[in-house]
């Protein structure tokens, strides 16, 4: 390998990648656990302004009200996850949410909506047996991230904004994490941050699909880095589609953004291109069926050609009274109006949209990964949600486990964990991989990304089968090879967004291969994963989850038996008194 490219080196006791709910909570709790420690947050955008936690509309699930309980929230989470969840992680989620929501209100300073009697207002969300979703109107994420950011700005945390992590660097001996290689996107310079503890909290994000909801900074970089450094990922076939993404036309980022579930909950209708309702063909709960069922129904109508002009279906609300809709769904009505559509009085075209990845890095309830010193939290992690995430459990997941990770990392520093010397070969390889596109003849990266989006949507999306998955597998390999021949202009590395598009695509292709491999291995249908050639869900007692690893460039998939550590299928933790 050639001489090493110039890399500016830094040291920090704790390095956090990402500034969503997981990253920011981790910073605050690391500070609390280890007041003297140096803490750095490195993030691909601006702290407080990027990632998906900021985009949370609906709210935060927590068992707070009289009559609700952690056990009930746990059972909803396990049943929603179709018994694939890691039960100790799910238990941490539901009990941790009770502590974290109090911290958010009483220490971080969030205002959530309240009832007239002063108690916190909690609304109904699909798949839950109790109204437990705490919210601030339909802008809950902005409230949480703004207040958290203020606290972090004040906590003596070093910020490396517009810094993109590109590789996890192991120690020279290979027995621990030594640090992370990053690109300063403002200049193009390489940086290595050596740290005693590193948190991966870059938030997953299924942006490889034609229609998707997450923010553009999310391109599965964290999962790709985790695979490359040897970590295993679980449940990767489990990609959640939200049924009603806005169809606003080509070439606008508004296409794919969510029109919230409450619209269907309030009585909204879905109509095919023939302007007739169709949900009666699929589920007795009609438009109020769960996300996976409604998404599959819409997709089937699309396959059958019963489509609106832009290729989706219609959402109709006006039968509920236009003024009423305007009052109840102000944010949604305005979002549609901005795009030229009348949600209150007319019809709006919608399409299922890739929303959330239940899968991610395998981890312990204290957020440790299998690499010493490397921790994981939030949407980069897998196991909490099993085969499906309940709406409202996403932001609870990122804040609860961010909090735990911060404490674990602080304790590691206090216990005297060393700074390891980095493996220079891994650094050189990381730099060489990042510079590769600048040395290849410039080409159309956008065309490759469009090809990825089309193949993931058509063959690894809402309906899957063996032949589609096998063909996707071959096409993904071909796309990856094409990336080795198509480069980008490299005259200036400062804010070279084409370069970053190329790097984004590289991460997305690797993680798409992982989703495809896991989807091929799971020969049944559970939660978000539906195989038209294996439509049955299999015996819950014999549930197993997928584990994928990358070794010598090839993905190895295995099926692992679920350990029912708290409750077995057919049992419940809810006692008779609670059930009454
Ligand atoms: C439109 C929308 C609505 C949602 N509504 C709800 C809801 O109502 N309730 C709910 O529970 N959940 C909801 N979710 C899901 C929820 O947002 C996520 O589950 C959760 O907030 C993820 O938190 P996180 O900290 O893991 O990741 P994020 O908040 O996404 O943060 C990831 C961070 O990592 C950074 N990053 C990415 N790549 C790199 C890199 N290479 N180097 C450095 N930094 C990097 C990003 O810039 C960002 O700062 C919604 C999601 C979307 C998209």
| Three-state SS annotation for 475-493 | HHHHHHHHHCCCECCCCCC
Q: What is the DSSP letter of 565?
A: S
Q: Which pair of tokens denotes residue 317?
A: 């609300």
256-265, 389-398, 463-472, 478-487: the lowest-pLDDT one: 256-265
**Tokens 């009832």 sit at which residue?**
115
Task: Burial-class residue 70 by CB neighbours within 10 Å (0-12, 13-18, 19+).
Answer: middle
Q: How much of the chain, in percent, has pLDDT values that exceed 70? A: 99
Ramachandran area for residue 385 (φ above 0: left; ψ -120 to 50: alpha; else beta):
alpha
| pLDDT tier, 580 (very low <50, low <70, confident <90, very high otherwise) | low
Longest dimension (CA), the chain: 70
Q: What is the pLDDT of residue 3?
A: 45
CB of 521 shorter than 6 A to ligand 1: no
Q: What is the pLDDT of residue 250?
A: 82
CB of 245 shorter than 6 A to ligand 1: no
CA distance 383 to 233: 9
Dist. CA 271 → ligand 1 center (Å): 31
Residues 319-363 have pLDDT tens digits of 999 999 999 888 889 989 999 999 999 999 999 999 999 999 999
Three-state DSSP class for 576? Answer: helix
- Cite the active site residues: 242, 264
- Pocket perturbation via mutation, ligand 1, pick of 28, 42, 54, 56 by most ligand atoms within 8 A of CB: 56
Q: In terms of residues, how long is the chain? A: 580
CB of 59 shorter than 6 A to ligand 1: yes
CA distance 525 to 46: 39
Dist. CA 292 → ligand 1 center (Å): 21
CB of 392 shorter than 6 A to ligand 1: yes
CB of 202 shorter than 6 A to ligand 1: yes
- Pocket perturbation via mutation, ligand 1, pick of 77, 184, 203, 381 by most ligand atoms within 8 A of CB: 203
448 has pLDDT over 70? yes
Residue 53 alpha carbon, nearest atom of ligand 1? 21
CA distance 527 to 122: 25
**What is the rounded average pLDDT of the residues 418-445?**
97
Q: Which of 21, 380, 366, 63 is nearest to 205 (CA)?
A: 380
Residues 123 and 146: beta-carbon distance below 8 Å: no
Residues 55-75 have pLDDT tens digits of 998 899 999 999 999 999 999
Dist. CA 279 → ligand 1 center (Å): 31
**Element counts in the chain: helices (H) and strands (E):** 15, 18
Kind of pairing between the strands at 7-17 and 269-271: unpaired
- Pocket perturbation via mutation, ligand 1, pick of 15, 16, 18 by most ligand atoms within 8 A of CB: 18
Residues 306 and 278: beta-carbon distance below 8 Å: yes
User: What pTM was estimated for this model as a whole?
Assistant: 0.96
Residues 57 and 141: beta-carbon distance below 8 Å: yes
- Beta-ladder partners of 555: 550
CA distance 164 to 167: 10
Residue 140 alpha carbon, nearest atom of ligand 1? 8
Residues 366-375 have pLDDT tens digits of 999 999 999 9
């Amino acid at each position: 390998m050639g001489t090493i490219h110039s890399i500016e080196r830094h040291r920090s006791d704790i390095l956090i990648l990402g500034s969503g709910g997981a990253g920011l909570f981790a910073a605050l709790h690391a500070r609390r656990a280890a007041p003297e420690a140096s803490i750095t947050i490195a993030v691909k955008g601006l702290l407080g302004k990027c990632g998906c936690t900021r985009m949370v509309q609906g709210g935060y699930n927590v068992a707070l009200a009289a009559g609700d309980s952690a056990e009930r929230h746990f059972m909803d989470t396990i049943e929603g996850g179709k018994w694939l969840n890691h039960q100790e992680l799910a238990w941490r989620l539901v009990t941790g949410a009770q502590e974290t929501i109090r911290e958010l209100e009483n220490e971080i300073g969030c205002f959530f909506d309240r009832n007239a009697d002063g108690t916190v207002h909690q609304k109904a969300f699909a798949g839950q047996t109790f109204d437990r979703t705490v919210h601030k109107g339909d802008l809950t994420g902005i409230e949480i991230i703004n207040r958290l950011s203020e606290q972090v700005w004040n906590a003596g945390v070093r910020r490396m904004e517009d810094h993109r992590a590109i590789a996890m660097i192991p120690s020279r001996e290979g027995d621990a994490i030594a640090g992370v290689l990053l690109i300063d996107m403002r200049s193009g310079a390489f940086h290595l941050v050596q740290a005693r503890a590193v948190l991966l909290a870059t938030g997953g994000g299924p942006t490889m699909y034609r229609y998707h909801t997450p923010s553009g900074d999310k391109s599965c970089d964290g999962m790709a880095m985790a695979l490359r450094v040897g970590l295993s990922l679980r449940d990767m076939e489990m990609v959640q589609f939200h049924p009603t993404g806005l169809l606003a036309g080509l070439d606008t980022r508004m296409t794919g953004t969510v029109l919230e579930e409450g619209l269907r909950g309030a009585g909204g209708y879905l109509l095919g291109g023939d302007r007739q309702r169709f949900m009666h063909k699929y589920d007795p709960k009609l438009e109020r069926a769960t996300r996976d069922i409604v998404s599959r129904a819409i997709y089937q109508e699309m396959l059958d050609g019963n489509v609106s002009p832009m290729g989706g279906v219609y959402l109709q609300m006006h039968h509920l009274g236009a003024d009423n809709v305007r009052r109840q769904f102000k944010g949604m009505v305005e979002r549609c109006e901005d795009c030229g559509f009348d949600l209150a009085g007319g019809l709006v075209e919608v399409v299922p949209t890739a929303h959330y990845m239940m899968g991610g890095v395998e981890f312990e309830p204290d957020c440790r990964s299998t690499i010493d010193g490397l921790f994981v939290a939030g949407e980069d992690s897998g196991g909490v949600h099993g085969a499906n995430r309940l709406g409202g459990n996403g932001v609870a997941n990122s804040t609860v486990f961010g909090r735990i990770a911060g404490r674990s990392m602080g304790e590691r520093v206090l216990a005297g964990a060393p700074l390891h010397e980095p493996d220079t070969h891994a650094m050189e390889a990381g730099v060489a991989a990042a510079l590769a596109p600048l040395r290849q003849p410039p080409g159309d990266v956008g065309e490759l990304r469009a090809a990825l989006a089309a193949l993931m949507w058509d063959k690894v999306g809402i309906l899957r089968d063996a032949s589609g998955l096998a063909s996707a597998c071959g096409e993904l390999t071909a796309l990856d090879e094409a990336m080795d021949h198509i480069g980008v202009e490299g005259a200036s590395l400062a804010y070279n967004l084409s370069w970053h598009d190329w790097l984004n695509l590289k991460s997305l292709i690797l993680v798409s291969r992982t989703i495809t491999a896991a989807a091929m291995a799971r020969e049944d249908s559970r939660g978000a994963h539906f195989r038209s050639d294996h439509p049955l869900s299999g015996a819950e007692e014999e549930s197993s989850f997928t584990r994928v690893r990358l070794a010598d460039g090839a993905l190895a998939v295995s099926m692992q038996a679920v350990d029912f550590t708290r409750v077995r299928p057919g049992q419940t933790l809810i006692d008779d008194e609670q059930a009454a």
